Structure 1
Amino acid sequence: MTNPSHPFSTVRDLLRYATSRFNQAEIFFGHGTTNAYDEAAYLILHTLHLPLDTLDPFLDARLMDDEIASILNLIERRATERMPAAYLTHEAWMHGFRFYVDERVIVPRSLIGELLQDRLTPWVDDPDQVTAVLELCTGSGCLAILSAAAFENADVDAVDISHAALEVAHRNVSDYQLDDRIALFEGDLYEPLPERQYDVIITNPPYVNQASMDALPPEYRHEPEIALAGGADGMTIVQRIIAHAKRWLSPDGVLVVEIGNERDHVEAAFGGLELNWLTTSAGDDSVFLLRAADLPD
């Protein structure tokens, strides 16, 4: 019998309600899902501790009142607070890897993760010969962990200026038992690193230009501004990364930089360099690569 305080009894009921509620609230997607239905399904399955890829067998399962209450609470928080789902569930997924997240870090969503799935082929000649990787602006540590998986013979150094973000990264590195392969450094880009050279440097730095920052949807305003804002043209941090990268790369090394929708600003700032634009699911305008030989001295 349905609880008189609400009309819901099954997963199907809540899925329909959540989808309608999210569409009504005009929430913004961009932290893992692209539509209200998928967002609703994720929150419901997570709350019920069910496999995230198995919805159909449970659609008509009758729920207990406390389960319904927990789901309704998340639905309402997502709709009214405009909190990204990852902060509500404290998890984000990338390429089969689960990461702990909270508001100390941006929600993992880097396109570089796709490229690491292919071990940066063909730009890295022999991935098994990669022994040293650096990630700048690591945040949750997700790309450092994916790098360790992609380059099995490499140790990985990862840097962030935020002590709070590194607390999250430490948790994720420990969860994957990679403390012996991933070293986390607190400081400003290259500043805290011991002198060495890397075969690969990757970074998903703050790159959002000021006009875009001013127009961000509410969901993104829950994320640390320091991890998003890249100055007037978005290139403040990128400029510093490129300016000093050659010193830290091996002669055959590569630098991979994600810049979102800022290609025009990248080409305005670095048009004199041999920029190689890499193909991702978002197209050919979001990630570029520079070889060590093509970087400024």
Structure 2
Amino acid sequence: MIDQASIALVRLALAEDLAGYGDITSQWTVPADLAGRGVITAREELVVCGLPLAAAVMAEVDSRAVFTLLVGDGASVAAGERLAVIEGPARGLLSAERTMLNFLIHLCGVATQSRRFYRAVEGTGVTVVDTRKTIPGLRAWQKRAVVYGGCGNHRFGLFDMVLVKNNHLEAAGGVRAAMDRVKAAGARYVKVEVEVESEADLREAVACGADVIMLDNQDLESLRGMVSIARALRPGLLLEASGRVSLSSVRAVAETGVDLISTSALTMGAPPVDLSLTLTVGS
């Protein structure tokens, strides 16, 4: 099953492509009664995500088509492995092809990128997590893909966690003033994270009772020093590193002693994967 938000996403994507007119090329070149069979195949090693969306696209275009999953979301597949088979009117297959593949190449790309980051920090005990830097409308699916790849989710949006960043600190008048306002608002049921860039702000955030400290834009030496200070002030405090983290640097960041590493590279830096849909037709 797929939720209503995903159905709305599928319909929006199809509206971009069909615009109320339909696929005029397929309508004018392909006989209406021609049956088709499409096979979606991985052309590289990847982690699967987005097959339910692809199936929903096909169902919206032509409900007569039968979409058969050969693997599930979260599966690791090799180059040449088939993901799904679709049987139905050839016109419908051709009309749905690009929208199905667009969802898949991106979401499988995010899942595969997340697997790379997961492997890069394996054995350190650190979890790499995503951010709110996502494609509008695709956040839920991108975050799902991140988990399939082995990484974790940070807050989903602005509503489920307090994250006091540098602009909030500027507007509120500093760490203590911001935290006093948060406490006055009654934030007992959500976690409170504070972004710090200096030792003074770190000490103040710990003293004010932050649940999580984000150590932002620190070089490795500074990061190790701030981790040591935070551990001395409050053992067990959750520490997150963020900023300028890449696949090549994430292992070194993990070895500084933080608990979490957040990076937009999972969702915004994921290269699309190579997938194909091969069509055969018959009566």
TM norm structure 1:
0.28
Q: Higher relative CO (CA 8 A, sep ≥ 6), structure 1 or 2? A: 2
Q: Which has the larger radius of gyration?
A: 2
TM norm structure 2:
0.29
